[in-house]
Structure formats: C-alpha cells, structure tokens
Structure 1
Amino acid sequence: MIDVKIREGESIEEALRRFKRECERDGILQEIRRREFFESQGARRKRKLSETLRRMKRKRLYSRYKG
C-alpha cells in the first residue's frame, strides 16, 4: 500500500503528484485495468505468452544494437 505523507511546507498538489508517481511506478492502475473484467485461464495464459514473446523480442532487438 502506498503511503504519502505531506511534508512540511509541501502543497497538496505536490503530494498528489508524488502519490500518482508512486502509483504509476508500482503499476496499481495497470493492475486495476487488468482486473476490471473477468479473464479466463486460457485468455490469461495467452496474454502471458504474448507478453513474454514481446519481451524476448525487444530484448533480442536491443542486444543486437548494444553489442
């Protein structure tokens, strides 16, 4: 759980900005969007596989230019 305490002399807007940044970094909004609708086991497996393939493709592409 994200806990943002307002610092001395800090405005609400700055604290809210820090809170949003923490939520984005932890992937909370992405998780909420993913859980918004029911996802069957088969659909979940297919999504995970495509994410893995995309990650591997990106890694292979970057390693080609890196070294």
Structure 2
Amino acid sequence: MTTLYRCITEDDTSRFCHRVSEALAKGWSLHGGPTMAFDPEKRVMRLGQSVTKEIEADYHPDMALGQQ
C-alpha cells in the first residue's frame, strides 16, 4: 500500500469547494483542516486543503495525483 498526498489550493470561491468535493468523491480523505491566507498581489483570500489516499500501487513521481 502507498499513501498519496496532495494539497488543493484555490481562491476563496465555490471552485475550491468543488475541487475538494471531487477529491473526496474519488476516495481521497481530508488530512487536517483547511487553511486560509490573503494573497496581496491578487487581493483575494486563498484556501488550501490537504488530502491523502491509499492505493495498491507503487509511488512514482510522474503520477498525476489529481487523476488518482
């Protein structure tokens, strides 16, 4: 078994929620709570959420984690 990790980031819009919801629907699990920070260049709040997933394959750096 291999544990995959990814961090989803997005501006504070419904798109962030949809991306996290899509990951959960694909079998990913929340890893900790969300984070929020102000992006002074774009003048928007940015959100982040870490997710993990167990797979029965070996990890390889070329894996497209969002496709798993």
**Whose RCO is larger (CA < 8 A, sep 6+)?**
2
Bigger Rg, which one = 1
TM-score norm. by structure 2 comes to 0.28
TM-score norm. by structure 1 comes to 0.28
